[in-house]
């Protein structure tokens, strides 16, 4: 079911946690709210669920206006048909898995047979069909989150809200549950809003990512477009681009790294937005060689650190005094390997270099790369 958020504002006293947010989530769509801790993700969720009363704006779920500050509409949480799963394991330890999942149906007064059917259906979806009679206190963290998810799904919500549901789990389990969650979301065609600060999780689960900073959505895109075309140097850095350096624009699409004589060429889009320009390039897009010639995107450097990471080797290379070392990721299969102290040439394609403003202009959708 479609969710429309218009001009949403939420203040805690004088502090503005959500600032004039506009967001439309399509029917069956999975939107991930991604951003650093404190940027307003949970607050947004709580407004959709009805657990928080916004100071301004309107929220519509399907055809129902569930909140409208001006019209004085505020439908309580239990009448919004919204399911929620939180970071903490919200299961009742003294009940069995079955009882946990059946609880809300019982409150609704659903018959025994129908309840059993729906509980088993939900447990099957989350892979806990063999655990119905187990005491909830005997479950692992991952299983508890499955119970929490089943408890939401059994209510057949129009909308599912998930707030960092995997962040208390260990990395391997997180990876697996992430894929299972995506499968369930697609299988049921559920409209979901998923909150996380982890970009890998966002990439894996989203149809579209809404990237938040300081209570504002600064970029909204498909995962691949977000990865390929971050709107600002800050966003690029947040999304794992490890080489971000201030530059000064020179003649016809060339740039100089500030306070150095290193020159850059970029085949990216013309930068738009406010603030100092930065060159952003990914560690895996830089090549190292023992031979080379000076020029744009071809610099001389000295290896300072070389660390073996399995399928890759990570190098820290100094290219100019006073400039942070470049972060370079070379495949283990690269023709040459280098040691600290080695003199090297660093090169990259113009297509790998993005020139971006420090701050994002408030563009909700950037044209360009499609999913």
Ligand X SMILES: Nc1ncnc2c1ncn2[C@@H]1O[C@H](COP(=O)(O)OP(=O)(O)O)[C@@H](O)[C@H]1O
Footprint of ligand X (CB under 6 A):
12, 15, 17, 35, 37-43
Cβ proximity to ligand X: between 42 and 143 the closer is: 42
Binding mask 29-68 for Mg ion (x = CB under 5 A): -------------x--------------------------
Residue 38 contact partner, candidates ligand X, Mg ion, none, CB within 5 to 8 A by sort of partner: ligand X
Query: CB of 286: closest distance to ligand X in angstroms?
Result: 33
Residue 87 touching Mg ion (CB under 5 A): no
Residue 17 contact partner, candidates Mg ion, ligand X, none, CB within 5 to 8 A by sort of partner: ligand X
**CB closest to Mg ion, residue no:** 42
Cβ proximity to ligand X: between 43 and 221 the closer is: 43
Nearest Cα residue to 17 out of 1, 49, 41? 41
Cβ proximity to ligand X: between 31 and 150 the closer is: 31
Cβ proximity to ligand X: between 95 and 216 the closer is: 216
Residue 192 touching Mg ion (CB under 5 A): no
Query: CB of 245: closest distance to Mg ion in angstroms?
Result: 32
Query: CB of 44: closest distance to ligand X in angstroms?
Result: 7
Residues engaged in binding Mg ion (CB under 5 A): 42
């Amino acid at each position: 079911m479609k969710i429309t958020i218009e001009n949403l504002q939420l203040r805690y006293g004088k502090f503005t946690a959500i600032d004039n947010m506009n967001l439309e989530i399509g029917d069956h769509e999975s939107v991930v709210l991604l951003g650093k801790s404190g940027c307003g993700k949970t607050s947004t969720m709580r407004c959709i669920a009805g657990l928080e009363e916004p100071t301004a704006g309107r929220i519509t779920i399907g055809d129902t206006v569930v909140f409208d500050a001006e019209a004085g509409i505020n439908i309580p949480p239990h009448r919004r048909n919204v399911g929620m799963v939180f970071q903490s394991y919200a299961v009742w330890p003294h009940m069995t898995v079955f009882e946990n999942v059946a609880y809300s149906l019982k409150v609704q007064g659903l018959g025994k047979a129908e309840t059993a059917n729906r509980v088993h259906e939900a447990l099957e979806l989350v892979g806990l069909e063999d655990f119905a009679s187990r005491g909830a206190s005997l479950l692992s963290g991952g299983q508890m989150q499955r119970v929490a998810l089943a408890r939401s799904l059994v209510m057949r919500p129009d909308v599912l809200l998930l707030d960092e549901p995997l962040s208390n789990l260990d990395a391997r389990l997180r990876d697996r549950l992430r894929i299972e969650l995506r499968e369930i979301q697609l299988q049921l065609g559920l409209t979901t809003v998923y909150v996380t600060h982890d970009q890998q999780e966002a990439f894996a689960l989203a149809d579209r990512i809404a990237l938040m900073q300081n209570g504002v959505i600064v970029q909204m895109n498909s995962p691949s477009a977000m990865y390929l075309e971050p709107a600002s140097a800050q966003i690029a850095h947040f999304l794992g681009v490890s080489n971000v350096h201030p530059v000064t624009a020179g003649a016809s699409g060339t740039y100089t790294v500030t306070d150095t004589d290193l020159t850059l060429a970029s085949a990216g889009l013309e930068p738009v937005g406010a603030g100092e320009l930065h060159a952003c390039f990914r560690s895996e897009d830089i090549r190292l060689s023992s031979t080379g010639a000076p020029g744009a995107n071809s610099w001389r450097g000295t290896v300072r650190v070389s660390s073996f990471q399995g399928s890759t080797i990570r190098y820290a290379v100094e290219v100019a005094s006073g400039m942070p070392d470049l972060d370079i990721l070379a495949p283990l299969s690269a023709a040459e390997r280098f040691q600290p102290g080695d003199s090297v040439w660093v090169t990259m394609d113009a297509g790998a270099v993005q020139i971006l403003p420090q701050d994002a202009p408030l563009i909700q959708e950037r044209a360009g790369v499609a999913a």
